[in-house]
Structure 1
Amino acid sequence: MNFTFNDFGILLKFDMIGTLAIGLISLYIGLLIKKKFKFFYNFGIPAPVIGGILFAIIHLFIRISKIGSIEYTTTLETPFMVAFFATIGLGSSVKALKKGGKLLVIFWLLSGFMTFMQTVIGVSLAKITGINPLLGILAGSVSMSGGHGSAGAFGKTVEGMGVIGASAMALSSATFGLIAGGLLGAPLAIYLIKKNSLKPKDIVGKENIGLKENDEVKTITSDSLLSHIGMLTVIMAIGITFSQYLKSILGIALPSYVGAMFIAILFNNLNIKFKFFSIDRNLVEIIGGVSLNIFLSMALISLRLWELADLALPMFIILFVQVLFMGIFTMFIVFKAMGKDYDAAVMVAGMCGSGLGATTNAMLNMGEVSEKHGYTVNPYIVVPLTGAFLIDIFQMPIIITAINMFSK
């Protein structure tokens, strides 16, 4: 850490390790706040988001007060971001998709249309309010159905194209979406259940839902950790090279994680068939969770919130319309298309959660409904599979095409 002076007072410069340390401190402060205040737990707001935004607000205050300013070295952001998305790719399999059947296909297609409309809404309102259309894309599918991971990745990509406030816009929109998805999802589903007098069929115990693999729980050792890190880094290296190759031959903006996620999906499905590596799913999940937390912590503490001053009103308008669209879309189209039954209502709660925030939010929403009216299997197969993986088949091409279309 170095001390110098500038127009804002004391300038604190943190190197790569210092930035990691501050990020982890913000993460643990976020965990403490989340434990103390139920609001954050009820809306599924991650600890790194709580702590990171708190640190970003403190930075904004000391900058406005001319006390000082902070510079972070975010070199480690990209490796942790790519590692997280690679673990998502390792969690996908054709075998799991077969369990969803016709309902999964319908829900997936509806989710694809949702991501398209989120991008259209973002771009259209950005033009109407007079801001860069790329910022509208970030306040659309990138941060809504993409969540903080996608927002952090594409925010950096757009910011690298010279768009001021891109990362702040994307991550702030994702945070808004988490809260809005929680406020909208469960109440809307419960309203549909009561209005239509819906009753669950084939109620199961909470422990019997979902797609948990019947893998043996293994003890994590230094050898198993190293082998899995080795596997991931090879996937990441090949994936990043693949992304760079596509960028060079196609001349498009493409985040490095896209290639890594694709290679991870390919590797996982080949590995299921040929079994050349013994993957510990629990360990992969741990590595993914750690990577996401560190990535988000560093991304959020380094937010330059003062860049949002001129974007606040346009951002609010775009996000308000996104929430309005989600309510109308899920209530009048998704509910009917999914069968107008109890499972359909629960899946409405799930789409509101994942479509405005994250898959975790979707699970919290559905859990809130299921606790009151009963657990059934279908929603817990269809929604997580779509939100965690399938939606990217539509979302990535839509976002990448839109960014390259409006960057010219």
Structure 2
Amino acid sequence: MEITLNGYYTLILATLVLLLGRFLVKRIKFLEDFNIPEPVAGGLVAAIVVYILNIVWGYSFNFHQGLQTATMLMFFASIGLSADFSRLKAGGSPLMIFTIVVSVFIILQDVVGVAMASVLGLDPLLGLVTGSIALTGGHGTAGAWGITLEEQYGVVGATTLGIAVATYGLVAGGVIGGPVARHLIKKLGLKPAAANPNPSEVERLAGEQSLYSTKHNEEEVHGNKEMFEKPDNIRLITASSTIESLALFAAALAFADIMTLLAQDTWFELPTFVWALAGGVILRNTLTMVFNFDMFDRAIDVIGNASLSLFLAMALLSLKLWQLTDLAGPVLIILLVQTLLMIGYAYFITFKVMGKDYDAAVLSAGHCGFGMGATPTAIANMQAVTDRYLPSHKAFLIVPMVGAFFVDIVNATILQIFTKLPFM
């Protein structure tokens, strides 16, 4: 029996999934420790229930796609509207260098994913799903690209696989980040702060960190952590700021719709959500740099986080878990290789390029976090290291900015190039 739910019931179910997820994350320590998002925790339970209903009684469900698409586009627009390029000045050259390091890794991640998928007899496009789509991109990018791959390229199970891979990445990124950083710090001869026998060395390193703790940088650090890493924090927003922010979202989505139509069947054809992200970037930086417009970042953040949660809840409700049966073995092999690649790259490349010092070790832990999972995982990795050793204002300035929005812009560009290659 096929049951079709309209937008109202789809929204009601999505909200119930989010409430279930919040309950599970608060009650199950594993979910909290590894920063599993509430929509993922509740959505996977809902997907299992839907799967059982289908297997046992033959029920299948169709959910309102328009609402899911709208929330997806609003999430990507929020990334663009948050991408203030003037913040590059706050991070300086280390921010630029780290962005390049991350960009090179995204390319390697996709090359490995595509190559491994081809060797194992899978569609090369599924290699992108087990590459930067789900790992560097996280659940939001996995859901968006999964829909695109299924509808435009006919890749069966792309969304389901993407969500599963992104969940694996969250756990793996949280597991490997700390050990990588601790091993690197041991090479530097540092010991935990509470037991460091050389106080003068601790003072010297702490003094170096203070170079990054100016008032402006502190505001950037704490601002980014609050905006992007703590979606449950209270935001001081007003009705007028919300309305103005919604107008910006509407403009970004209108731009995406127009550009999707104009670019159709041309060499610069892009998925609509990429245009939404690009529209947000253009709108944000034009208004702030040319017209000196004061953006309401807090309102943009609230709307973006809410949109992402609803999108993930609806995407997970629509999962068809039975599509993963034949992919389980090959995908596990690819993910193990990707995990080893992340460890090796963070240890030998990220650490050395970023200066081979304590900050570089903390940045390596952060890179493991969002290279495999998401920016909150990166922050958790770095906090685990800095709580044990020394502060790293440089790392907490750079990682939130790169992981929260710059990496999504780079990832979308690289993925678009990969999908246009002749062997894909």
TM-score where L is the length of structure 2: 0.88
CA shift digits 1:187-221 (9 cap, x unpaired): 2212221343236433569x94743559xx98533
Answer yes or no: is the 8 Å Cα contact 1:209–1:376 preserved in 2: no
Q: Which residue of 1 aligns with 2:158?
A: 166
Q: Structure 2 matches for 1:33-182, cutoff 5 A?
A: 33-66=24-57, 68-160=59-151, 161-182=153-174
Answer yes or no: is the 8 Å Cα contact 2:140–2:312 preserved in 1: yes
Answer yes or no: is the 8 Å Cα contact 1:124–1:136 preserved in 2: yes
- Residues 110, 295 of structure 1: alpha-carbon distance in 2 compared, 3 angstrom cutoff: same
State the distance in 1 between where 2:306 and 2:423 align. 33
Deviation of the 1:405 alpha carbon = 2.3
Asked if residue 334 in structure 1 is aligned to residue 369 in structure 2, the reply is no
Q: Which residue of 2 aligns with 1:307?
A: 323
Q: Which residue of 1 aligns with 2:392?
A: 376
Answer yes or no: is the 8 Å Cα contact 1:182–1:353 preserved in 2: yes
Tell me, which stretches of 5 or more residues in structure 1 are unaligned?
6-10
State the distance in 2 between where 1:94 and 1:71 align. 41
State the distance in 2 between where 1:94 and 1:135 align. 33
- Residues 239, 13 of structure 1: alpha-carbon distance in 2 compared, 3 angstrom cutoff: closer
Asked if residue 269 in structure 1 is aligned to residue 285 in structure 2, the reply is yes
Answer yes or no: is the 8 Å Cα contact 1:209–1:380 preserved in 2: no
Deviation of the 1:245 alpha carbon = 2.2
Answer yes or no: is the 8 Å Cα contact 1:209–1:377 preserved in 2: no
State the distance in 2 between where 1:27 and 1:385 align. 27
**Which one of 178, 181, 186 corresponds to residue 194 of structure 1?**
186
* Stretch moving more, 59-68 or 127-136: 59-68
Deviation of the 1:105 alpha carbon = 2.1
CA shift digits 1:236-274 (9 cap, x unpaired): 11123223323332274x221211211211221122234
Deviation of the 1:55 alpha carbon = 0.7
State the distance in 2 between where 1:133 and 1:406 align. 11
Answer yes or no: is the 8 Å Cα contact 1:96–1:211 preserved in 2: no
- CA-atom RMSD in angstroms: 2.3
* Stretch moving more, 232-241 or 108-117: 232-241
CA shift digits 1:142-189 (9 cap, x unpaired): 111111111111100001021111111111111111110001112221
Q: Which residue of 1 aligns with 2:221?
A: 211
Answer yes or no: is the 8 Å Cα contact 1:19–1:74 preserved in 2: no
Deviation of the 1:321 alpha carbon = 0.7
TM-score where L is the length of structure 1: 0.91
State the distance in 1 between where 2:188 and 2:398 align. 22
Answer yes or no: is the 8 Å Cα contact 1:28–1:51 preserved in 2: yes
The 3-state SS of whatever aligns with 2:112 is: helix
Tell me, which stretches of 5 or more residues in structure 2 are unaligned?
191-201, 225-233
Q: Which residue of 2 aligns with 1:8?
A: none
State the distance in 1 between where 2:253 and 2:168 align. 30
Q: Which residue of 2 aligns with 1:403?
A: 419
Asked if residue 184 in structure 1 is aligned to residue 176 in structure 2, the reply is yes
Deviation of the 1:374 alpha carbon = 2.6
Deviation of the 1:299 alpha carbon = 0.6
Answer yes or no: is the 8 Å Cα contact 1:165–1:304 preserved in 2: yes
State the distance in 2 between where 1:34 and 1:213 align. 25
Please identify which structure carries the higher helix content.
2
Q: Which residue of 2 aligns with 1:352?
A: 368
Q: Which residue of 2 aligns with 1:235?
A: 252
**Which one of 381, 399, 402 corresponds to residue 365 of structure 1?**
381
- Residues 148, 218 of structure 1: alpha-carbon distance in 2 compared, 3 angstrom cutoff: closer
Instruction: State percent identity of aligned pairs.
Output: 36
**Which one of 404, 407, 420 corresponds to residue 388 of structure 1?**
404
Instruction: Write the letter of the residue equivalent to 2:70.
Output: P
* Matched length: 396
State the distance in 2 between where 1:210 and 1:236 align. 28
CA shift digits 1:369-388 (9 cap, x unpaired): 11221322110122122222
Q: Which residue of 1 aligns with 2:341?
A: 325
- Residues 193, 143 of structure 1: alpha-carbon distance in 2 compared, 3 angstrom cutoff: same
The 3-state SS of whatever aligns with 2:356 is: coil
The 3-state SS of whatever aligns with 1:248 is: coil
Q: Which residue of 1 aligns with 2:198?
A: none
